[in-house]
Amino acid sequence: MAGLRRWPSMLLLVVLGTATASEFQVPLVSQQESLNAESTIAKPLVNTSDLQASIKIENLVQHAKDLFILAQLSEPEFGHPTRVIGSDGHGGTLEYIYSAIELLGDYYTISTQPFPAVMGKVYESRLVIGHEVPESASPMSLTPPTAHKEPVYGKLVLVAGEGCDASDYPANVTGNIAFVLRGTCPFGTKSELAGKAGAVAAIIYNHDSGELSGTLGNPTSSHVATFGLSGKDAGPVVERLKAGETVDAIAYIDSQVKQIETRNIIAQTVEGDPDNCVMLGAHSDSVSEGPGINDDGSGSLTLLEVATQLTNFSVNNCVRFAWWAGEEEGLLGSDYYVEVLPEEENLKIRLFMDYDMMGSPNFAYQVYNATNAVNPVGSEQLRDLYVDWYKSQGLNYTFIPFDGRSDYDAFIRNGIPGGGIATGAEGVKTKEEEAMFGGKAGEWYDPCYHQLCDDVGNVNSTAWLLNTKLVAHSVATYAVSFDGFPERSSVAASNYNDKPTKYHGHRLIL
């Protein structure tokens, strides 16, 4: 199988259009014949030690370098490397992953799943309240622009309660700017109600001193240009409004929200019990601000490397790999996949494992605290598999909330046990964690999170390699047997759909 290691670089040339068909075809014929010959030879049943030993950091890093080059395809449109959905960089990423799996021969069946997606981009924004420009003002993701993409002027009108009912919006909000407290209902609902009440813009302010950045979610025709504002900046304004003072404001957003088509990639082993599937996923897209090599190039490439090395083995249970599109826009790909999944197919997925950000530079070894008490039964057993592995390696770990911030969300809401690991995003490392994992307390786990500097140099090789071995361990364990793992039942399919959460993806929704 040594020839497989030459494929990614040749694949990159083809994706970039710099290799001719004849240049690409000659080596692939011999490699494919080699694969077909190997497929006729009985392979050993996968075992965790051998699969882990096959994972090499050199392979992961070479993939990462290729991914960054693909992100550069977006420079003409965006002015910098990115793999956001709808960009040439993301299109190249999908082609790269699909081709790499396809060239593994008949070990996998591979398919794409097209779906409609919404992407938004804010080109420019400004908010003035009175004579002040609040530093915390931030346009909501998927906000429409202000009328004609020009500044709008109006008085701030304090909305009653938390702005979740049409009756909360007074008549004088028409032609003015709604000032709405965060809470109870999603930001999109507040923006829609403000629009229906005739407001020219809306400002949603936090109930504590912190900044507020979120998403309006699925666009509606009634949404208005909407900003988030910290409680610190909003506090004095609320006091003035409650005292009966008039506060003028100017809001300006130049943005675009449009619908595109993108696609998920699904690869499943041909062998293995199709009624008992191990499923794992990572997202193939980045934010528009940068190339996303850690977020989530690291997870996507971990899956690709494990999928490649798994071809050396046989499996008892089917293994299904998924590369989701549109995670950064609100878990669009994974939501769509589960939404259209028939119940009988849902029940064939014994568990779903999410791998997002495997190598943050200021890392902590994080395990989602998925308990059976509030999640589909089996989630806690998966959590404990990760814990036991870290302990067996003599490593520390820490639990993080299982709160809807990544692609596991749709699975647990539809009765499928879930979990995963991560290494940290914009959270701040504590002194205790510095002692446990090294790095630097007081700084983000990933100082380049959602920024242009999330490039190849932003990924910590030690954490990435170690966590990829843990991913291999999780795959090998359940590909062999689900002995002792809770059975699925049709009753569970609807029990968790109403689980409340503040997040849907990395953005706040309420």
Amino acid 433: pLDDT: 98
DSSP type of residue 86: T
CA 20/CA 307 separation, integer angstroms: 27
Q: pLDDT grade, residue 13 (50/70/90)? A: confident
User: Higher confidence at residue 160 or residue 495?
Assistant: 160
7 and 32 Cβ atoms separated by less than 8 Å: no
426 and 449 Cβ atoms separated by less than 8 Å: yes
DSSP tally for the chain: helices H, then strands E: 15, 13
Amino acid 498: pLDDT: 60
| The model's pTM | 0.87
Amino acid 41: pLDDT: 76
Q: Which residues sit opposite 118 in a β-bridge?
A: 259
Q: What are phi and psi of 282, to 5 degrees?
A: -150, 160
Q: What is the DSSP string of 279-307?
A: EEEEE----TTS--IIIIIIHHHHHHHHH
Match 């999330």 to its residue by tokens. 454
CA 455/CA 172 separation, integer angstroms: 49
- Chain mean position to CA 236: 36
Which residues, 6 or more positions from 2, have their beta carbon under 8 angstroms from its beta carbon?
Answer: none
- 303-362 residue pLDDT tens: 999 999 999 999 999 999 999 999 998 899 999 999 999 999 999 999 999 999 999 999
- 474-484 residue pLDDT tens: 999 999 999 99
CA 58/CA 68 separation, integer angstroms: 16
- 59-117 residue pLDDT tens: 999 999 999 999 999 999 999 999 999 999 999 999 999 999 999 999 999 999 999 99
CA 130/CA 92 separation, integer angstroms: 47
Q: Does the structure show a pLDDT above 60 at 492? A: no
Bond prior to 296 in cis (omega within 30° of 0): yes
Q: pLDDT grade, residue 36 (50/70/90)? A: very low
Q: Does the structure show a pLDDT above 90 at 40? A: no
Measured CA distances, 116 to 113, 119, 289, 358, 426 (Å):
10, 10, 22, 28, 29
Active site residues: 327
What proportion of the chain, given as a percentage, has pLDDT over 90?
83
DSSP type of residue 166: G
Amino acid 265: pLDDT: 98
Q: Is 225 left (phi over 0), alpha (psi -120 to 50) or beta?
A: beta
Amino acid 14: pLDDT: 64
83 and 71 Cβ atoms separated by less than 8 Å: yes
Helix axes 57-71, 461-480, angle to 10 degrees: 110
Amino acid 21: pLDDT: 33
